[in-house]
Structure 1
């Protein structure tokens, strides 16, 4: 029997994850996941491939979304009152409506100091509206322990060092599937009180080369080894991006049952 081994939310897109015991899945993904983003002064999304120090920034949503705590090694903590209305600024953030709610100069100054570049922190304008608009086919990222273990065994055979699961930034980690990459073949699966459906295989980029603890690029693994057996027409693929077919609460330890195969 397969189970939910771990759950992780990423309150700030491109930054460190926060482990949780349970999560509410909505049609737009886990509640609070990637609700904020770091953008350049031109509104472009900042990502770890160019700014690996983003991996050091951790955001925690407090007081049911009223506050956001920012922290990073050596930079201390900053607690912000979340701005949910008012003026927006043009941004280019995937799945957002080309605008974001700026979270103020104090947040911008703190983040800019940590990552070493002028940036702004913005919030998605209306997550509820996006959730109501329809199912996002790539709302939840699923990866299995067997897939990660198989990859690290292959890396070791090539003389490399294993890579941490965190480099792949999954929301749901599944244990108990004996066959690596079982998630590739899952058309539908029941997870706790929710149901997920196949969206697409996750195409991997330079973010996987970033050491998530140090905030530095440390390649060439895992992309070098993944390219030997996981190369698809769109690039190297590893893990599943899934749609939320039935919203609900999931928790660590919940059963994961595949109800339909591709």
Structure 2
């Protein structure tokens, strides 16, 4: 298969799992994904992860990491800034039933998140010794991401979805409904990312892991933290059913870390067969 090289249209990391993304013009891609991606996670008092599936107001939280300082802001509440604790006592945390460890980030962050969510919460950080192996065709590692370290979607795939949404009488949706790390423009055909098995991107190389199976988070308006109805899942179900569910976008492992910048060329070095 041949397709013209694409380019990076956007880079987004999500420092706190489930919270708003941080767009950047350039970032270092580490073995665990873009710098700071899912390095922090909101948990309940038992250490079980919180996500937008049950707490859609997480979408309102704007995190910012500046060296050893983490800032959190959201509408209607005073922002806070806390020193990042990388050396404190470890506590057990649960992510989709899998046991990991986290370093608690203190009472100030916990009280702020508890007030915003209306549920007692704590904030934890991935410890330096975090040693997670992700699944898929190409294994990798990640912080507190759902699975693989890199989630990639092309603009062509979203354009096709929005055409179908419009045909169904629904409103077109922004890319942030899908919370990708890397957005690719320049591929003329939709879902080229499904077929790519090895990608050279900036200074880095990615290896295909699996399709991204979508959940109810895609139905939450990322601007106001509210559930917005059945779309896009209803329309995606008409043409994007995979063995494991409704697929949109692709997950990759990091074969070679490196620097990425918006505008970098994206070249597919190896192709595979479609799974849908």
TM-score (norm 1): 0.94
Corresponding residue for 2:144? none
| 1:57 has 2:61 as partner | yes
Contact kept? 1:37, 1:93, Cα under 8 Å: no
Contact 1:28/1:130, CA 8 A, preserved across alignment: no
Runs of 4 or more above 3 Å deviation: 94-97, 127-131
Instruction: Please give the alpha-carbon distance, in whole angstroms, between the structure 2 residues aligned to 1:35 and 1:7.
Output: 16
Q: How does 1:1-262 map to 2 (within 5 A)?
A: 1-62=5-66, 64=67, 66-93=68-95, 98-126=100-128, 135-136=140-141, 138-262=148-272
In structure 2, what is the Cα distance between the partners aligned to 1:97 and 1:255? 38
| Inter-partner Cα distance in structure 2 for 1:217 and 1:190 | 37
Question: Which has the larger helix fraction?
Answer: 1
For the 8 Å contact 1:28–1:127, the answer to whether it is kept is no
Q: Which residue of 1 aligns with 2:136?
A: none
Q: Distance in 2 between matches of 1:103 and 1:206?
A: 28
What's the C-alpha RMSD, in Å, of the aligned pairs? 1.7
Per-residue CA deviation, residues 28-70 of structure 1 (Å, 9 max, x unaligned), is 21121000000011111101011000000111101x2x11000
Distance 2:31 2:126 in 1: 15
The SS at the match of 2:112 is helix
In the TM superposition, what is the alpha-carbon distance from 1:135 to its structure 2 partner? 2.7
Count residues with an aligned counterpart: 258
